Structure 1
């Protein structure tokens, strides 16, 4: 029986074992249907089957026979909810957006049929979309969009363009991600991974196929023949279908010599524990999880540190020891822990590779197009111009997609071996095991206050738990908070036979704030002071001081409940401060070229949902006083001029000024050809068109000029530290169910001080998403490992839970735009600082509600029930 797909007849699927999602994507080319979790949890692959929302990743393709199927392409961009999602910026990277649009279209239609043009409540929308996840955290925009569509506000095309230039492509499924570029005849690659935590690999082999030919097998270990964790890539195989590749991977033989392993951080520190890196060369080659170069540090067995950036602080140590001896009540010394948080972008790591006449063509889900193209050229000994890397859209990254990862290497080598294009896409279990995580930490904080309320000493010792990788920096970040009082900060790493960490949004920041900001609240209680008042006294950062002033007048803070709370459900309000170094990319470049009478903006930078594609067009358009919709912006191609990677809160502050410089250079070129172009200010539309017509083929390249006072560090491979720090203050309200141990965040105020905001809605979306990710860090996210075997147990999105729409608070974002006038462009990045203090604010709110101080993340119900048992009275 034929199937009707988007209203047209379509042959019934005939490949047994194929999922509906694979059939729609690879057989019919309807790539708007996205595969993310593979287990029906995330909703990205949602389609309508006979009008009912269905997870196509779980549905066998042959079940589509005789059915009516609608994909996001079948909505044709004309459904009110698609227009509303674009207008309200209910998206970021866009990978999950088609699934949301399909499900929401059914809800909106049903709601309006029953209720007319009325707005549903937040809870009703959350219930309707409970089966959908957005790892970027664009929920506030989704709530607003669905409510507006239900109210009939988008029955016709809105007059204003959406705030995000690529929103129409994302809400219709037209945005093409790396896996969508696999041409017909592409083979599928599968990575063979270690099943033991530590061993020497002696031999990797696979028998011939039934026809006698040697199956395509590539070795991924290189010279180091040692595997150090379960899940480490060993080899890769390829076949015409993924099912066949999986079958082939299952018969690959790996001969191993087992080595002693240690998978528990506490056991790794014990005398006589097996040492992961016994030689100097092995220690130097250990992977790192920092964004900047990892400074040197001494090793003692499996413990590394303290690093050279640590401060010994003899004055602080002396004061703290003296206070301890005299049992000073104003000495607060506490230990806090955080669990491993996995990046888990909904688009998995994926690469499509093909060789053509000696050139390497790559489609890679990466945050760093220029960097990865250069690394590929070096690895395969190619001139840089013979590597053609394209990344049109990236489905989230959060720091995990910046390396020449195993999927890239496997795809390239298998393509060379087979002579065909090869696609390697990680399954969700692989993504949750070996694609990056924020390391767990154990942090000891000591604060000493004086009788006058001053900060007399601060000490922070933090031990990072990044598996086989190193790079702890939580303690060093604490040194950048609260003035110049004597302090000691020391960072350590404890290595184990578990997967390596990667930089994750504000690396080291959230665990630092979780410990430090709760300790500050404890000092305030000891002093009998308001926590805001104490921070205003201690904090020398003028930008955060401006945010504290706003908090003081904030009803959420001013009118919060005081004193003891009783009963099962208890409301609490807490706050936390945060800072983040100002990072920039000195090598950022933007090219403007006139083609066919149109102005094209090009750079090899990438947009992971932050909106840099939109920003480049808006900056150039604003410089000329023209409509950004009249420009064409092309990013994500390695053939373009160098663009900074999209990470480290450095993209906007680097690419924006480069685009402005390019526009100024183009104006000079246009004036030589068309004297009517004014020297400054808006260019009349007719003059601009005449100038472009006369400038066919003209090309200029703009660069990121230096700040007024220069920068603190030299250029370190397109990374430098600028002068100044961004700031943030989060105020969180929670409701705690003391019987079941559940915490429900209800409201959040996020104050962000990062200077000029280029596009307010896109920036607000980033900060709202940071709150969502911070809530996940605080309440749910915890990678669980079997310490006996080193196996990651939470390798799916049911066991590893990220926040859904019903888990997040209503969020208000406030921007303080002063303080960075010395920075070219006037603003710095805000993606990192907006996430640092969220979990700590939530922790302080839980204490305010219950009177019990949480020390361990996540705040699981069992932990809260245990800590909230009455001790001599009820609060």
Structure 2
């Protein structure tokens, strides 16, 4: 909190609405609006307002990056490496430059998203970036048509000096494995996060160990244990596969650059372009009207965007570069694979005495392939030992992916917790009641979620593991999710009210399909006594006040308090001007049902639009920043503020296993979640539905397959790369908990990550309940399932 601010003590409500509400005292910044009552008492917030952009999307009016058409626009295609590891001896672009219709060719000077040598002298200086994975972007061509650009690519001659390569995690871990990098590496965090701890040792392809989260005496913890469970868990590489591939239109005119991007953060597109091209930020205008899915990989300009900008500058014309499906799979990010060796000790009553983890993750040529924080901060355990290694391979780089790290970690950890419960003869729910005691408010929410989910799935009818007879076996399992409650510091909202009654809301965030426009409108409308459709929302533009990235489940928690505070300031300004017309004090005026009225006297009122006209208002403009949570934060990391509280959820899965064919079918999922105050329950439910579907897809189907001999991805498409479809989607029941925290003027949080992270673990625990066998390897393909069923 800023020392320049003044504060006042307020009594606020906190707890689960309808269950355990209490009164708490908070130090609230002066000028904050009064706390809202529960959603049931509000008119717009907490209601299922339809998406404001739904009509534009279903009619095709919504403009995505692919839809951008500019006068004289050129079309670009990229040339990608055909080998997995090599030095580029020469590149001859002369024939491509002379091809009819070609206007510019550019060779990439620096590769983004990859780790870099700590000491560049470890590698001989080369004129071109070292190729470290098949599909690595090398150059690009801009032409008057995509067909001409594609034809010109075939004329570029690249001479390689091929080097040994390795594509599989297990092989890369061997001491004699071909090194991806010739020396120790570093990778700083970029747009979207990522990166890795500095200065860790590196030997061959193993970088680490990182020991974050370790505490206590692990040897003593295991000596105190009555039962010890060990397991080795493997998760696969999952690619993002959004409906809309990565793409950018660059328009460099004079000394100004306009970028139309499919992105999760317009500000990072602007900032990364400014850094790479040495331009002042005010000279760059980044725009994202609509984005067709991101899931964590769409930050910054990327290698493809960098190429498009270079081409635009060279050609003196706008250039559109949109990746094809193969490039989308190969070069712009993925969820890393992991190998987790996990050992847990516990006493007879279920309390944990020790958690020991050795994990190895591969993000290809990138670092930061961790397995989340669940092992050390999800449950109470005095003794924790964590060692994590990044394992470099000659494969495309990892990127954030909906619950980065945590999804892999919880698949292993929540199975291990269930295994401990099974060894002790405890109900897995009762086991978690015993160990889930880290934070009182969060604990009450998760306990309620476990109880509600158990009732809805029919947990009491759950049979003993493996007791179902016949070749078709059914089972029920559960797993718990946890994700940090994050607030983005640099979030500002602006509200403009015109004399004709037009209300506009501005923020430089973006709507990637989550409903940000609608939530923004609801908050402003609630404060001004209007309907959501009365508010014109403007997002997706770097010229607007700064907004949060769409990642880490932070948009709603960051945006809505700033939006409400700006709207509240506008309302108080209007009230001061309208009060004389109603012979009242400004503080006695309320904004309700499209009117401004005297509190307690609905007859003394004016319609909102009439009041503005009679008060002679032309334009009112108010801005508000996102202020710190009333209780402050556990820690701050740059623009990120991490709350001592978390976002939780519990998911129950019911599965059917055909023990003859190895086919697993998820028949039902019950997802019970909290996200603070749900601003729009239908949108929250939509996020959870999407998270469950994505989690089922990860658990059963998705798996990047590389040819070890060439490094080529064999299923870089949406045919052989299997994704859950409508026939494989289970019945999904969503239940939301309204959880007030007394933290901000809206008490809203996000939900995207926790909606996904526990799904695979819940399915795996249900598999154990059905078969009596553990599944340690994802995805649950027939081959992996049959192997698990044959295990002892």
Class of the TM-score when normalised by the shorter of the 2 chains: 0.7 to 0.9
Shift of 1:162: 5.5
Which structure 2 residues correspond to residues 57-206 of structure 1 after superposition, within 5 A?
A: 163-206=50-93
> CA separation in 2, counterparts of 1:778 and 1:365?
28
Confirm or deny: 8 A CA contact 2:226 2:345 kept in the other structure.
no
Q: How does 1:423-572 map to 2 (within 5 A)?
A: 423-474=320-371, 476-540=373-437, 541-562=443-464, 564-572=467-475
Moved more, 193-202 or 581-590: 193-202
1:450–1:212 Cα change, 3 Å: closer
Inter-partner Cα distance in structure 1 for 2:419 and 2:477: 12
Counterpart contact for 2:81–2:136, Cα < 8 Å: yes
Distance 1:263 1:303 in 2: 14
Report which stretch shifted further, 740-749 or 763-772.
740-749
Q: Secondary structure at the match of 1:545?
A: helix
Shift of 1:169: 0.9
Q: Is the 8 A contact 1:317 1:488 kept in 2?
A: no
Instruction: Give the C-alpha shift of residue 568 in structure 1.
Output: 2.1
RMSD: 2.3
User: What does residue 220 of structure 1 align with?
Assistant: 108
- Paired position in structure 1 for 2:204: 301
Q: TM-score, normalised by structure 1?
A: 0.77
Judging changes above 3 Å, is the alpha-carbon distance between structure 1 residues 870 and 266 closer, same or farther for their aligned structure 2 residues?
Answer: closer
SS at match of 2:167: coil
Check conservation: 2:364, 2:397, Cα contact below 8 A.
Answer: yes
Q: Distance in 2 between matches of 1:211 and 1:708?
A: 63
Q: Distance in 1 between matches of 2:228 and 2:267?
A: 50
Q: Is the 8 A contact 1:205 1:253 kept in 2?
A: yes
1:670 paired with 2:574, answer yes
Q: Does 1:756 align with 2:677?
A: yes
Distance in 2, matches of 1:468 and 1:292, equals: 13
Q: Which residue of 1 aligns with 2:591?
A: 682
CA contact (8 A) 2:49 2:518 kept: no
2:211–2:387 contact (8 Å) kept in structure 1: no
Q: Given that residues 708 and 824 in structure 1 are in contact (C-alpha distance below 8 angstroms), is that contact kept between their aligned partners in structure 2?
A: no
Match of residue 695 from structure 1: 617
Matched, 1:589 2:492: yes
Please state whether the residue corresponding to 1:800 is helix, strand or coil. Answer: coil
1:740 equivalent in structure 2: 661
Cα distance change on mapping 1:656 and 1:210 into 2, 3 Å: closer
8 Å CA contact 1:348–1:431 kept in 2: the answer is yes
Q: Work out the CA distance in 2 between the residues paired with 1:207 and 1:287.
A: 37
1:113-149 CA-to-partner distances (Å, cap 9, x unmatched) read xxxxxxxxxxxxxxxxxxxxxxxxxxxxxxxxxxxxx
CA deviation after TM superposition for structure 1 residue 546, in Å: 2.0
User: Which residue of the partner structure matches residue 339 of structure 1?
Assistant: 236
2:565 corresponds in structure 1 to 661
**Is 1:773 the equivalent of 2:681?**
no
Report what 2:483 is aligned to.
Answer: 580
Residue in 2 aligned with 1:602?
506
* Alignment deviations for residues 90-125 of structure 1 (CA, whole Å, 9 cap, x no partner): xxxxxxxxxxxxxxxxxxxxxxxxxxxxxxxxxxxx
C-alpha distance in 2 between matches for 1:555 and 1:347: 35
Task: Report what 1:125 is aligned to.
Answer: none
The superposition leaves residues 361-390 of structure 1 with CA deviations (integer Å, 9 ceiling, x where unpaired) of 111101101121122223223332221211
CA distance in structure 2 between the aligned counterparts of 1:284 and 1:252, rounded to whole angstroms: 32
Structure 1 position 831, deviation (Å): 0.7
Q: Distance in 2 between matches of 1:441 and 1:801?
A: 20
- Secondary structure (helix, strand or coil) at the match of 1:622 reads helix
CA 1:824 to 1:201, structure 2 compared with 1: closer, same or farther past 3 Å?
Answer: farther
Q: Give CA-to-partner distance per residue, 1:609-645, whole Å, 9 cap, x none.
A: 1111101110000011111111110110111110111
3-state SS of 1:752 partner: strand
Q: Check the 8 A contact 2:187/2:367 in 1, yes or no.
A: no
Query: Deviations for 1:560-617, whole angstroms, at most 9, x for unmatched residues?
Result: 3446112122111000112111111011111112357211111110111111110111
Alignment partner of 1:729 out of 642, 646, 650: 650
Structure 2: how far apart are the matches of 1:249 and 1:712? 52
SS at match of 2:418: helix
Deviates more, 1:698-707 or 1:861-870: 861-870
Residue pairs, 1:610-625, within 5 angstroms:
610-625=514-529
Residue 514 of structure 1: SS of its match in structure 2? helix
Q: 1:696 to 1:254 in 2, by over 3 A?
A: farther
Is the Cα–Cα contact under 8 Å of residues 218 and 385 in structure 2 kept in the other structure?
yes
Q: Which residue of 1 aligns with 2:773?
A: 852
Kept in 2: contact 1:623–1:681 (CA 8 A): no
* In 2: Cα distance, 1:844 partner to 1:747 partner: 14
CA contact (8 A) 2:191 2:268 kept: no
Choose 832-841 or 816-825, whichever is displaced more: 816-825
- In 1, Cα distance between equivalents of 2:762 and 2:492: 38
Give how far 1:830 is off. 1.1
Shifted more, 856-865 versus 260-269: the winner is 260-269
Take 1:245 and 1:706, find their aligned partners in 2: how far apart are those partners? 50
Residue equivalent to 2:539: 635
More strand per residue: 2
Question: Separation in 1 of the partners of 2:373 and 2:100?
Answer: 59
Q: What is the TM-score normalised by the length of structure 2? A: 0.85
Q: Which residue matches 2:722?
A: 801
1:189 aligned counterpart, secondary structure: strand
* Distance across 1 between alignment mates of 2:722 and 2:194: 29
Consecutive unaligned residues of structure 1, counting only runs of 5 or more, are 1-159
Q: For the Cα contact (< 8 Å) 1:286–1:470, is it kept in 2?
A: no
- Secondary structure at the aligned position of 2:636 is classed as coil
Task: Kindly indicate whether the alpha-carbon contact (under 8 Å) linking 1:728 and 1:834 is maintained by their aligned counterparts in 2.
Answer: yes
Given candidates 200, 203, 227, the residue that maps to 1:330 is: 227
Counterpart of 1:316 in structure 2 is 218
Secondary structure of the 2:377 match is coil
Secondary structure in structure 1 of the residue aligned to 2:591: coil
Query: Corresponding residue for 1:230?
Result: 134
Quote the offset at 1:479 in angstroms: 0.7
CA separation in 1, counterparts of 2:745 and 2:202?
41
Find the residue that maps to 2:70 and give its secondary structure.
coil
Asked if the contact 1:477–1:508 (Cα under 8 Å) also holds between the matched residues in 2, the reply is no
Task: Find the aligned partners of 2:319 and 2:766 in 1 and give their Cα distance.
Answer: 50
Count of aligned pairs: 703
1:813-845 deviation per Cα after TM superposition (whole angstroms, max 9, x unaligned): 112222632344213221111111100000111
How far, CA to CA, are the matches of 2:252 and 2:102 in structure 1?
Answer: 21
Separation in structure 2 between the aligned mates of residue 308 and residue 555 of structure 1, nearest angstrom: 38
- Tell me if the contact between 2:105 and 2:141 (Cα under 8 Å) persists in the aligned partners: yes
Q: 1:210 to 1:747 in 2, by over 3 A?
A: closer
Match of 1:274 among 157, 178, 195: 178
Alpha-carbon shift at residue 772 of structure 1 (Å): 0.1
Deviation at 1:688, TM superposition (A): 2.4
How far the C-alpha of 1:743 sits from its partner, in A, is 1.1
Show the counterpart of 2:44.
Answer: none
**Which secondary structure state, in structure 2, belongs to the residue aligned with residue 479 of structure 1?**
helix
Tell me, yes or no, if structure 1 residue 789 matches structure 2 residue 677.
Answer: no
User: Are the aligned partners of 2:213 and 2:384 in contact in 1 as well (CA < 8 Å)?
Assistant: no
Question: Which sections of structure 2, spanning at least 5 residues, go unmatched?
Answer: 1-46, 111-126, 438-442, 596-605
Please report how far the alpha carbon of residue 860 of structure 1 lies from its aligned counterpart in structure 2 after TM superposition. 0.3
Q: CA deviation at 1:308?
A: 5.1
Output the CA distance in 1 between the equivalents of 2:388 and 2:742: 33
Q: 1:279 to 1:595 in 2, by over 3 A?
A: farther
Distance 1:211 1:468 in 2: 34
Q: Are 1:288 and 1:502, in contact at CA under 8 Å, matched by a contact in 2?
A: no
The residue number in structure 2 matching 1:42 is none
Alpha carbons of 1:619 and 1:479: their partners in 2 closer, same or farther (altered >3 Å)?
A: same
Distance 1:868 1:279, change over 3 A: closer
Alignment of 1:344-359 (within 5 A): 344-359=241-256
